[in-house]
Structure 1
Amino acid sequence: MGCSQLKSDNKQLKDNNSKQNGPISTQVSMGLTIIQKTESVDADYILHKLDPLATLRSYIRKGISKSNSQSRIIRTYNCTNASLEKKQQLQETINLLISLKHLYVQNTLAYYYYDGRLSIIGEYIDGGNLLTQLDKFSQLQQYQQIDIFCQIMAGVQYLHDNGVMHGDIRLEHIVFTNKNLESIKLIDFGISNSLKQEFSSWKPNNTMQELSLKSPEAIKGQSTFKSDIYSCGCLLYFIITSHMPFYATNYQSLKNCILRGVPNFDSNECANLNPQMKQLLIKMLNANPQRRPTAQEVLNNPIFMNKIRVMYKPNKQLQKHMKEFKISSQLQAAMLMYIAENMMSDQDKKKLMDEFQKFDLNKDGQLTKDELLKVYSETLPPDRALKEVNTIFKRIDVNGSGKIDYQEFIIATIDQKKYFNREKLLMLFTQIDRDHSGELSRQEIKKLLRDIQIPINKYEQLVKQLDQDGDGAITQEEFLKMMLQI
């Protein structure tokens, strides 16, 4: 994806962006909105180079939080000479990125903009990418490989549904969330390759491996949403046959093969290919983008939908949390998500992810009423199951989308007694109190509110609520009292 890869004619997306509650505050100059300055990323993170096996892109580094030792991925761009129009594009892109929350898409957590340098903070995923784990991935059972493919398609569908084209799907940009290769996240969407070259020292390598996943129109510089479908078709072909749909001995020959648009189905590996799978691949690899299916149509293909869905009994304690979940304010929801991202143990995170996947029967990374109802009906009478599911959706689906996304699920199922209590809030206070003064300055509390994505127009109101005696600083007791009330 990239600033130039947002739907330029998507009025609804623009309307949605204008309503977003992201942390970006703006100033108006010549009718344009540009990113507001913050402190330097170095104030909060110790930066390290990444292993070249993970990425050769020098603008991507690993950051270790000085306050809580959490690992993050940090992408930094030099925007000193960016035009106002480019800065507006970046601001709109960051707003959109921060709003994207999906099980199979890397989460963007915050941004820094200081001295012309823009740093985008993302969750750190340490399971290795598909390229580095290719040998291990090839040893998985094919149904496991297909399950990973469905996760990739679910992530692509979510991006497309939100008006975002990935634009650079390749093995390096599919990262496993653990060493067992059970789950993936799509990464490195957000800034187009042209802008990456403009705002960093990175240049594309133009390797045959990268070229092998590009669509004919992408090679011509005319990428569309259907270009992502083509790249995914190449991945599916690779998973099924262990090689790419086009073969050549050099870069130019490979480019010519792709532009001719006739994938190879004559190999020995394709001889016993399931006819239904072959038809899907032919459609996904069609040289005409208009004739390719959508991401949702791929996921809904009978060859994937007919897989047996195992019904697991949901965890009773988490069922109880969902049923009793009640959110009293936007600030409470934001704080719960912030605590989940920064304080929850890896064991508890995995537990919630496993539970989410029990309900996610079609593996699209979101939960529908029908999916919950099928699972609940395994243990409850039909009438009671329907009543419980309706109650859960009424409480949890706060954005009214008709689906429960992973963030909504986390907020609803997190053990509030364990993670939203005096002890954890004191730990949080210590993390925010960067100068260790024992009090929070207005600048420190504003940073917290920005990090938990509270709209800028609510900053002052919430700061005043926290600073109850009006002395310009927030004590531990003021902080605790306010937070325990929300």
Structure 2
Amino acid sequence: MACTAEEEAHLKQTAEQGFRSSTSPIQKLRYACLMRGANGIKGLGRSFRIMDDDGSKTLDFREFRDGLRDYGLRELDDQTIADVFKELDKDGSGKLSYDEFLVAIRGPMNKTREEYVKQAFKKMDATGDGQITIEDIRRLYDASQHPKFMSGEWTEDQCFRHFLNSFDSPGNPDGVVTWDEFLNYYAGVSASIDEDGYFATMMKRAWRL
């Protein structure tokens, strides 16, 4: 499941400390995203997809800079943004693939951790179509015991949508969670956890793996 409030607070605190101490432009950007919580990296991906007006899946410097600004990453000065772009634009083309960019920003997740994330996603993707939707949740969970369903405040679909929104980008939920979005979410969680054993325990407990 999504991070608990305690885990989310720990992630933000860790990111703030990392942002202050880091000298790497890419790490600073990563920490700035994670200061917004586990959804921070995935939310940035959404912001860039919106900026990609021509559907090229690339960003020039203006789109890159404006995407960061629109997402609210005010902690980053213009020089840091320029340094990140230059470091990632390895061929000097003046264009970035935002898929490659997101891989660089979410940072390394070792194979052990990624395997637990894959298991959780596979369990949730009941239809096997590569995305988690309300229909997948409906097949797996009974919403009748949810307190807000029992009180009549929410319908069954509203209960399911609330669950999906935990993994969706703040301000732009679409009710569909892809593998990349799911992985980006847990990349944020992983960044705040030092021990593989603790990460494994958390995933097993949360998803009954």
TM-score interval, normalised by the smaller of the two chains: 0.3 to 0.5
Structure with more of its chain in helix, by fraction = 2
* Larger relative contact order (Cα-Cα within 8 Å, sequence gap ≥ 6): 2
Larger Cα Rg: Structure 1 or Structure 2?
A: 1
TM-score relative to the length of structure 2: 0.36
Structure with more of its chain in strand, by fraction = 1
TM-score relative to the length of structure 1: 0.17
